[in-house]
Amino acid sequence: MTPEEFYKALAEKGIELNDTQKGQFETYFSELVETNKVMNLTSITEKDQVYLKHFYDSLILDFFDDQLIHGSLSICDVGSGAGFPSIPLKIINPDLQVTIIDSLNKRINFLKGLVEKLDLDNVDLVHGRAEELGQNKQYREKFDLVTARAVASMTVLTELCLPFAQKGGQFIAMKADKADAELQEAKYAIGLLGGKVSQQESFELPNEAGLRNLIFVSKTKETPKKYPRKPGTPSRKPLVKK
Residue 204 marked in a binding site: no
Query: Residue 46 and residue 207: Cα distance in Å, rounded?
Result: 15
Closest CA to 174 of 202, 195, 140, 134: 202
Residue 84 marked in a binding site: yes
Residue 107 marked in a binding site: no
Closest CA to 110 of 76, 87, 83: 83
* Phi-psi region at 184: left, alpha or beta (left = phi > 0; alpha = psi -120 to 50): alpha
Query: Residue 180 and residue 186: Cα distance in Å, rounded?
Result: 10
Whether the CB-CB separation of 69 and 92 falls below 8 Å is answered with yes
DSSP per residue over 29-52, as a string?
HHHHHHHHTTS---S--SHHHHII
Residue 131 marked in a binding site: yes
* Neighbour count for residue 91 (Cβ, 10 Å): 24
Helix (H, G, I), strand (E, B), or coil: what is residue 215?
Answer: strand
Length of the chain: 242
- Residue 105 class from Cβ within 10 Å (0-12 exposed, 13-18 middle, 19+ buried)? exposed
Query: Residue 219 and residue 167: Cα distance in Å, rounded?
Result: 5
Residue 132 marked in a binding site: no
Annotated binding site for S-adenosyl-L-methionine: 79, 84, 130-131, 149
